[in-house]
Each structure stands twice: as structure tokens, then as C-alpha cells.
């Protein structure tokens, strides 16, 4: 069914999805989505991770996350 479909821009990026169930609870990473822009990433995040009663949900482009250290690396 999708044979004729051609994507205009091939640049999809990864977004991390964060949410919390109560105001006092810290944000948790609940998953990630891949999309070419913020609009679609938001729509995908909501469609994919809406099974719980979150009071707050947000997405962050993975490229915007600055890693301080990774597993196995010593703290700088």
C-alpha cells in the first residue's frame, strides 16, 4: 500500500520522551520517537506513550542532550 510513497526530506531525528504522573514526581524518560520535525515528534510521542495518566509529557531532541559521562566512564 505504501509503494508510491516518497519522503521529501530524509532527515529524521531522534527525540527522547519524558513524563511524570504527579506534580511532585521527577520526570522519567519513558521512551523515544524518530520524526523529521517537532510537530510530528509530539504527535508520535502522544500516540505512543499516552497509555498512562501522565500530568506532564515533554520531548527533547536527542542532539540537545549533553552527556556528562557514560556507563563505564569515570566521573570527570
Partner 1 sequence: MRYAEWCIAAPTLEADIAAAAMGLDDIGHSRVLYGSLRELGTADVPDEPGSYANVPYLDRPWTDWTAFVAANGVLDSAFTLMIEALAGGNVEVLRSRLKKMLQEERYHAMHGRSWLRESRAAVAVDQARRDAIVWIGPEAGDVDDLHQKGILSLGVRELRRRLDEQVSGAPASTPIDWKAWDPVRRRVVPGGIDELTLNMLQGLAEKRYMPAGA
2 to 41: interface string for partner 1, x by CB under 8 A: x-xxxxxx-----------------------xxxxx-xx-
Residues 6+ apart with CB under 8 A from 74: none
Q: Which is nearer to partner 1, 39 or 73 (CB)?
A: 39
Other C-beta atoms closer than 10 Å to the C-beta of 17 total 22
Q: Is 20 exposed, middle or buried (0-12, 13-18, 19+ CB in 10 A)?
A: middle
Q: Which is nearer to partner 1, 15 or 18 (CB)?
A: 15
Point out which residues bind partner 1 (CB under 8 A): 1-2, 4-9, 33-37, 39-40, 42-44, 46-48, 50
Amino acid at each position: 500500500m505504501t509503494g508510491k510513497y516518497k519522503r521529501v526530506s530524509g532527515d529524521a531525528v531522534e527525540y527522547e520522551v519524558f513524563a511524570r504522573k504527579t506534580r511532585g514526581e521527577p520526570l522519567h524518560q519513558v521512551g523515544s520517537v524518530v520524526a523529521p520535525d517537532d510537530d510530528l515528534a509530539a504527535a508520535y510521542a502522544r500516540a505512543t506513550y499516552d497509555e498512562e495518566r501522565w500530568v506532564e509529557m515533554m520531548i527533547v531532541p536527542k542532539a540537545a542532550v549533553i552527556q556528562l559521562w557514560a556507563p563505564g566512564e569515570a566521573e570527570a
